[in-house]
Amino acid sequence: MKFTLSWLKQHLDTDADIDAITAALTRIGLEVEGIENPGEKLAGFKVARVLSAEPHPDADKLKVLSVDAGGGPLQVVCGAPNARAGMIGVFGPPGVYVPGSGFELKVAAIRGVESNGMMCSVRELELGDAHEGIIELGADAEEAVGRPYPDYAGLTDPVIDVSITPNRQDCMGVRGIARDLAAAGIGTLKPLTEAYRRDAVEPVAGEGEGPDVRTDDAEGCPAFYAQAVSGVTNGVSPDWMQRYLTAIGQKPISALVDITNFVMIDLGRPLHVYDRAKLTGGLVARKARAGETVTALNGKTYTLDASMTVIADDAQVHDIGGIMGGEDSGVSAGTTDVLIECAYFDPDHIARTGQALVLTSDARQRFERGVDPAFLDDGLAIATGLVLDLCGGTASGVTRAGRPPVEPRTLRYDPGRAETLGGLAVAGDRQKAILEGLGFTVADDWQVTVPTWRRDIDGPADLVEEVIRIEGIDKVPASPLARVPGVATPTATAEQKLERRIRRAAASRGFHEAVTWSFVSEDEAKPFGGGAWILANPISEDLKVMRPSLLPGLLSAARRNIDRGADGVRLFEIGRRYLADGAKSRERPTLTLVMAGEKSPRGWNSGKAQHFDAFDAKAEALSLLAAAGAPADKLMVMGEAGDSWHPGRSGTLRLGPKNVLATFGVVHPGLLRTFDLAGPVAAVEIFLDAIPEKRSAGFMRPAYTPPALQPVRRDFAFLAPADLSADDLVRAVRGADKKAIVDARLFDLFTGEGIEEGKKSMAVEVTLQPAAKSFTDEEIRAIADKVVKAAEKRGATLRG
């Protein structure tokens, strides 16, 4: 939500400076995200008079101007067709930076004629898109010659950008923000009549009956108010309105359109204006018919369904109710008769329609939060009054179709709860003044009537929040919790300890932790079996399904990093997957790793960059499982990991045939294309709830007792069937003598010349650890015989 300081002071009578106002805003919960001064970049430009304009001696389209910017005549070469003697414009002297053109002005010779700066166009100063000629200022600029242009044009008005939380629909207008500041003691709130410089803000007494409008959708559009104005002239809006809109990034279009935008931002009240000449019959708020289409003001065509509220005439849909008007009935420069709509739309209907159409707008942002249902008459009166003041014409009567939900809401409040619930003792009189300053009505018995613009107030706790945030959260005393003497009892659960341990292990192995959304789109959930939990009212269609896997979020994060120049990405996340388990749904704690891009850069020995593969994923999975306390040496490598993994380049790690502890491998190329990632990408999923818990042995760690004797290593080369996995062979060798053999690993695999077809050579290093005494030769030979026999049971024979 953006507004300027002077705009705020149209509603707030205060002498506070920008620093005091922004500090107060953040203090009361309206966080200031930024402050801009649009005049800073134009500080070097000045108002100047063109004294003379002569043809350039060597260029037909150029002129040589004599310009007075307050320091005497300067010669300037100009190519603008409207440059002429006597006009007043904006001059940029040498040394200033032209923001719209991206260069610094210097004294230069143009076709042999020296030019000392330039006369500027609107586009060159980034004040608009016009560039056909240089800026022409009005007659009132005569006395401003020589002054900085930002001072003359009122561009020194700071722009304040405030972050409005979704519950504060009342602060989606400048007046609501002014009301909060007034309640906090930063000035007083001006009456609405003073803010709009009118004697009264009440329905404009029009001539005849009101326009033909009605609502047939009491749920989606409970109230539809309208007034027509005939004989308008839709010219440009006044300078003050254009300045306000331009300062906050809104593009002035025409007086009629600018009025609706101004009222929406000023008062948080969206409106719409129709060109009556483009309508066929009356307007009705109704449910759309399935398959109906409308071309919105953004130029896009939307297909509607029967759940959506629209405004239509006898011929077609003209408005996606409360979100965006239609192109076919929009006003133009030739519009002479208008219909002004001021309606109330149900917030839930607006949110669902906007999400389904993937369509956002300033109006939607306000309606889905909830605008003031009691402000229809006032909003329509203000808009009609501005149209009459700025565009002329004659107003009709007002039509009020339907009834807005304005039933009063009253809460019983105990002022003592400010201390018991909010932690701050605030005098009763002060609490009453705060609530009344925010628009609440407080009776002597503390029955509090909630204003119609505060849809978020639901109970006494909300009133406590209002009192505390205005009084000052920083005033709440910091009171430490009582602590019993002695050493605190450990409170971390086994699951929390496991997550801490494995998080440290992942970070120590060079991975960066990521935190991604717990929601994904339906398309992203589909490769993982779809979503078991789907939100009925999501904040976005892209965040609708509770994730069945952490991979979508991490793949998106990897793509963003690679798109921004990262050569290699190693990310991990610990979070929850949300799955269907029979008739029940449950969540599973999971650690997911993603390795994308380059594993190592190209070099003189490799020639090209190395990428991650399934073996990298397996190594990381085993290492982290070991860190988590899983019996990594007993795990079985089985099968492919599933449809989202590359066939033949993925697998699972299991403790027994059914207990899957992890999946690992290369992500399926089809899934990578969905996330616009170039492969290969290796990944790991470790299911933390599948890791067996260790039996508690107390808080003491066992004493470190390294072996007294050195280990003995022996190598064995086996000729094995081609389909025998290395894991099976190593497992068999390790189990040949569980007391003496402490480790076994594959260190060589060979096929080809010298190895018969259907066979492969696998070399295994076996580590033997003596206990009380060193092994004798006979004992080592006996262990070797056990190793060979164990291998033979798997179909492998010792090579000669």
Does residue 699 carry a pLDDT above 70?
no
Residue-level length of the chain: 800
Higher-scoring residue by pLDDT: 481, 35: 35
* pLDDT, position 799: 87
**Cis previous bond, 680, omega within 30:** yes
- CA-CA distance, 398 to 798, in Å (whole number)? 100
681-695 residue pLDDT tens: 999 999 999 998 876
Lowest mean pLDDT among 222-226, 480-484, 748-752: 480-484
Question: Is 635 in contact with 654 (CB distance < 8 Å)?
Answer: yes
CA distances from 651 to 459, 528, 530, 656, 662 (A): 54, 16, 21, 14, 9
Q: Are strands 759-768 and 645-654 parallel, antiparallel or unpaired?
A: unpaired
User: What ranges make up the beta strands (E) of 403-446?
Assistant: 409-412, 441-442
Mean pLDDT of all residues in the chain? 91
Contact between 422 and 467 under an 8 Å Cβ cutoff? The reply is yes
Q: Report the alpha-carbon distance of residue 262 to residue 251 in Å, rounded.
A: 11
pLDDT of residue 706: 85
585 has pLDDT over 70 = no
pLDDT surpasses 80 at 205: no
| Strands 712-721, 409-412: pairing kind | unpaired
- Domains of the chain, with CATH numbers? 2-38+157-190 (3.30.56.10), 40-153 (2.40.50.140), 213-402 (3.50.40.10), 409-474 (3.30.56.10), 494-690 (3.30.930.10), 712-798 (3.30.70.380)
Judged against a pLDDT cut of 80, whether residue 679 lies above it is answered with: no
pLDDT at 553 (0 to 100): 93
- What's the pLDDT score for residue 441? 96
Count of beta carbons in the 10 Å neighbourhood of residue 155: 22
* Position 198 confidence tier, pLDDT thresholds 50, 70, 90: low
Within 13 Å and on the Cβ side, how many CA atoms surround 271? 35
Residues that constitute the known binding site for Mg(2+): 456, 462, 465-466
Given a cut of 90, is residue 529 above it in pLDDT? Answer: no
- Conformational region of residue 192, where left means phi above 0, alpha means psi within -120 to 50, and beta covers everything else: alpha
pTM score: 0.69
Alpha-carbon radius of gyration of the chain: 37
pLDDT at 11: 94
List the binding residues: 456, 462, 465-466
β-strand pairing of 46-56 with 301-303:
unpaired
